[in-house]
A = this chain, B = another copy of it.
Amino acid sequence: MLIVMSNSASQEDVNSVIATIEAHGWQAKPIPGGERMAIGILRNIGPVDPAIFLGMPGVRDAIPVSKPYKLVSREMKKENTRIPLGDGSVVIGGDKLILAAGPCAVESERQALEIACAVKRAGAVLFRAGAFKPRTSPYAFQGLGEKGLQILAKVRQETGLFIVSEATDHEVCDLVEEYADIIQIGTRNMQNYRLLKRAGQAKKPVLLKRGMSATIDEFFMAAEYILSEGNDQVILCERGIRTFATHSRNTLDLNAVPYIQKESHLPVFIDPSHAAGRRDQVIPLARAGAAVGAAGLLIEVHSCPEKAMSDGPQSLLPADFERLVAELRYMNFKI
């Protein structure tokens, strides 16, 4: 934190800022400049709230300098995090573009297996499907619960696909950890701290989705919660942010990918399905997500989207997904 004094600040104002810094147990470092004094804050653990100083007399600005996160930072760990699954034949953050595909929700064994076989054939290595669904309407389908997870375990057994499924709260997390290979934390839960802590104690990797209006710093802090509990197998997933634009459900923020890769060692996935919210934008955005350099793509595929119990309209048909994979191969991505 750098406290910038007004050019008319008195020595008393400066002393008062220094006293406040020291009262918090931090160290104050005055930096005289051409026109005005600035005061650096050192030895703080965790972020300093600028508002502490913004109201003080003679203070013009309070500017965060250091980043609030540590463990997710590339400063802490230079090499990219690689997350091997199973026997290590699939590595997230490795050379290959990871394709995770499947329906929004598990609806039945038959549905799950049919879609799983199709996406596996096309090139997917992960099967994504929800057994517990957070829904906007109280009357909407809420997922099959544990039965859904059992179906997913069967999908893994029959197809060899690894399973990623969402934990909607800390209690559900116990079940998801038991059955799935990767625990997903959804957009609405990015700041559900109790769930984040629970996921940090899990023995399975975690796929953490960015909140709809989260800054990257906030996204990193949510991941920090997981890492600080001891689980460093975290995948970050960009899935679109809320903006003024109305031509899509959200705006996919691809600028975030090179930024995350610069700041952090964690792998990044892209979810074009939720960013678009409508099928006709999914394939172009999936190609863009691969091209920007994401480690993987999370794509909704349903063999009968018009009968899907949730999010059908943004799901690709298996044939669309095949076409997408063909296009990605044509663009020379290793799948």
Contact = CB atoms under 8 A, between A and B. Distances in A.
Interface of A: 2, 4, 6-8, 20, 23, 27, 29, 31, 33-35, 38, 40, 42-43, 45-47, 49-55, 60-61, 63, 65-68, 75, 78, 134-140, 168-169, 188-189, 191-194, 197, 212-213, 215-216, 218, 221, 224-225, 228-229, 240-259, 262, 275-281, 284-285, 287-293, 306, 312-314, 330-332
How many monomers of this chain does the complex have?
4
B191 A169 contact: no
Contact of A255 (B42, B139, B189, B281): B281
A51 B277 CA distance: 7
Given A216-B245, A275-B255, A20 B137 contact: no
A54 to B, nearest CB: 5
Contacts of A75: 6-8, 60
**What 3 A-B pairs come out closest when comparing CB atoms?**
A51-B313, A213-B213, A291-B291
A222 to B, nearest CB: 9
Contacts of A33: 29, 40, 42
Nearest to A190: B188
Contacts of A253: 243, 245, 251
Given A38-B40, A258-B284, 4 more contacts: A29-B33, A63-B65, A135-B193, A251-B255
Nearest to A330: B332
A34 B38 contact: no
Contacts of A280: 54-55, 258, 262
A323 to B, nearest CB: 14
B243 A243 contact: yes
Contact of A288 (B140, B215, B288): B288
Nearest to A308: B52
Contact of A287 (B292, B314, B330): B292
A13 to B, nearest CB: 14
A299 to B, nearest CB: 15
A31 B29 contact: yes
A65 B258 contact: no
A190 B40 CA distance: 36
A4 to B, nearest CB: 6
B228 A138 contact: yes
A291 to B, nearest CB: 4
Contacts of A40: 31, 33, 38
Given A221-B136, A228-B138, A312-B52, A245 B254 contact: no
Contacts of A31: 29, 31, 40
Given A20-B306, A255-B281, A313-B55, A138 B244 contact: no
A49 B255 contact: no
A280 B57 CA distance: 11
